[in-house]
Structure formats: structure tokens, C-alpha cells
Amino acid sequence: MLIGYARVSTIHQNLDRQLGALLAAGCVAIFAEKASGRDVRNRPELEKAIQALGNGDVLVLAEWDRATRSMMDGIAIMQRVGDRGATIKVLDKPHLDLSTRMGQGFLAFLSALAEEERERIHKRAAEGRSAARRRGVRMGRRPKLTQHQQQTARTRLARGESCRTVAADMAVHHATIARLR
């Protein structure tokens, strides 16, 4: 039996291309999710797909990096699938025979490349945030209170009013007011 797995990283991305490829490959069941590949513990649909595998079944992936973004995780997935008596088929790598040690080794190599790409993405994002901060861009959520409201709250706190009283009047959490001290 062919069991498919598809994943995209964010809720804004689309699974259609992967799902189409898995359906065209003849998958009987398809497990799909929108979750970061960086988090190897929070992929419940991948877990369900692996649990659904039986002896002789095949886990079908549109692309290998949809299942993993780290070499060790990729090797662990191959081991778990193998322990269930199943194999893995990667649609964008049809020349790989994952029933051989050479094919499995190549897939481990691809996992290492995916891990390196994830690290490059992280580094570029961090550099972009640093450059934005240097340009004066403020990161994070917008303040709950305007500058005028903040000054009013500080004045009231200086007069001895409690954080909770001021917060209730301004419809914010008391911690928001406490941080103004």
C-alpha cells in the first residue's frame, strides 16, 4: 500500500502541488499538515503516516525535505519506516532505491543538505532582522497604549494608584502598566 505524506511550513503556503503528486503516484492514504520542518517533535500527521505503515508498504513523499530538515531526523525516520517493514519512495528522486544501503546513505546526505539549508535560512532571517533594527525598524507587536496613554498611566502610578486600577481603566492587562514603571 502507498501512504503519502505532505507538509508545508506555514499556514499561508499551499499543499496542492504535493497532494497532486501523491495522488498521481497512487497513494491510498495521504497525511498532510502545515507545520515547521524545524520542529521534529510537532508533526502529528507524519507520526500517523508512519504508524499506518505495515510490512511491504511504502511511505511516499513528494520531496524528501518535506519530511525532515535535519540529517539525524532523516536517519531516524528511515529507521522507523524500516522497522515497520516498509520503505520510502521520494517522487522528486525517482533514481533512488531506498531498499539498498547506498540509497539510504544518499538520503541521509540529502537530509544533511536540508539541515544546512535550514541553517542558511535562519542566518539570513537573523541578518535581515539586525539590518532592520539598525535602520530603526521596531520589531514585535505594536504597543497597546499610545505615548499619551503611557504618560497618563505613569502619572497615575506616581500618584499612588495601583497597576490593576490603572489597567482596568485603560482596558489592558496590569502587567502592561507595571512595565511602564
Per-residue pLDDT, 124: 93
Per-residue pLDDT, 134: 94
pLDDT tens-place string over residues 29-88: 999 998 876 665 778 999 999 999 999 999 999 988 788 767 778 788 888 998 999 988
pLDDT tens-place string over residues 112-150: 887 788 888 889 999 999 999 999 998 888 889 999 999
Domain residue spans in the chain? 2-130, 147-178
Q: Is 70 a catalytic residue?
A: no
Strand order in the sheet with 2-8: 29-34, 2-8, 58-61, 87-90
Per-residue pLDDT, 66: 80
Residue whose grid cell is 507520526: 47
Per-residue pLDDT, 39: 62
pLDDT, mean over the chain: 88
Instruction: State how far Cα 19 lies from the chain centre.
Output: 18
The CATH number fitting domain 2-130, selected from 2.60.40.180, 3.40.50.1390, 1.10.10.350, 3.40.190.10: 3.40.50.1390
Per-residue pLDDT, 101: 74
